[in-house]
Amino acid sequence: MRHDLLDVAKLEWMSRELSETYRCADPFPHICIDNFLDEDVYRKASDAFPGATERVWFKFHSATENLKLQSQDFYAIPPALRALIMEFNAPGFTRFLETLSGIQGLVPDPHLHGGGLHQTLPGGHLGLHIDYNYHLEWKLDRRLNVLLYLNDKWEDSWAGHLQLWDNEVQRCVRKIAPIGNRLVVFNTNECSWHGHPEPLACPRGVTRRSIALYYYSNGRPEPDAADEHSTRFQTRPGERYGLTARDILHGITPPYAKALAKRIVGR
């Protein structure tokens, strides 16, 4: 059945065909699907994406999230993108995710907590991290991340690749370029280290654009259980952050950051 924006029958077929690939992916379950939307749907979404100077954005500026813009106010998001987000939160797409991942009972987030529209400016980056694992208001476990890239042109030399790292954060296992109309889905757990830590080298006027959506469940399997925590950042081997007070308060994980925080608190 074809809805206005997504072909539900195609999603059902795709989820069955790709489920084994998803669950067996290294370093943690994930999938990358190119040309996910029909071209006309993608074009409307891309054309509607707000410019970096529009007043819909919150700007991050820290050692771990630098020159990153976020818009999670549903009603401030342009109608074409709002309609697409609603479709991603609808039963057809949620069933697609459940069959693909094997995680049943997924709950979308219409409030877009931490998600919505993301845009990173030239020179910006997002450090390696695992995401917050529990929605404190809803009392639900965060299980899946969904990213749809909206970059009509992207060159490898611009960096900005989504990096997936091993559990010990010693090796980048996969790099995924943020090519337009590319959908990425991955499990959210204690070993799903990811980010785009290389500063963007794109030309002035070009930004890294995406829709980010998160999905939850009531509980998670015992092997994945962990105490609730906020987003945890981790430096790459040999990397050091120029710390800000915000970074210390929010808990960057390298040992020197923890030691510095203890010294400051102890004063």
Residue 120 falls within a domain, yes or no?
yes
Q: What are phi and psi of 40, to 5 degrees?
A: -70, -35
Which range marks the domain in which residue 32 is found? 8-228
Residue 160 falls within a domain, yes or no?
yes
Domain count, the chain: 1
- At residue 223, the pLDDT reads 84
Check pLDDT > 50 for residue 265.
Answer: no
Rounded to whole angstroms, what are the CA distances from 14 to 8, 9, 18, 101, 241? 10, 9, 6, 12, 41
Residue 243 falls within a domain, yes or no?
no
Residue 242 falls within a domain, yes or no?
no
Q: What is the CATH classification number for the domain harbouring 54?
A: 2.60.120.620
Residue 186 falls within a domain, yes or no?
yes
Side chain identity at residue 232, one-letter code: R
Token representation of residue 23: 């669950």
Residue 254 falls within a domain, yes or no?
no
The answer to whether 213 and 142 are in contact (CB under 8 A) is no
* Average pLDDT of span 101-110: 98
Residue 73 falls within a domain, yes or no?
yes
Euclidean distance between CA atoms 101 and 131, whole angstroms: 18
pLDDT digits over 216-260, tens only?
A: 999 998 888 899 999 999 999 988 766 555 555 555 544 334 333
Q: What is the average pLDDT score of the chain?
A: 91
Residue 88 falls within a domain, yes or no?
yes
- Is this structure's pTM higher than 0.85? yes
Residue 107's closest CA among 1, 213, 254, 191?
213
Confidence tier at 266 by pLDDT (50, 70, 90): very low
Euclidean distance between CA atoms 266 and 122, whole angstroms: 38
Alpha helices in 89-219 (DSSP H): 91-101
Residue 172: beta bridge partners? Answer: 165
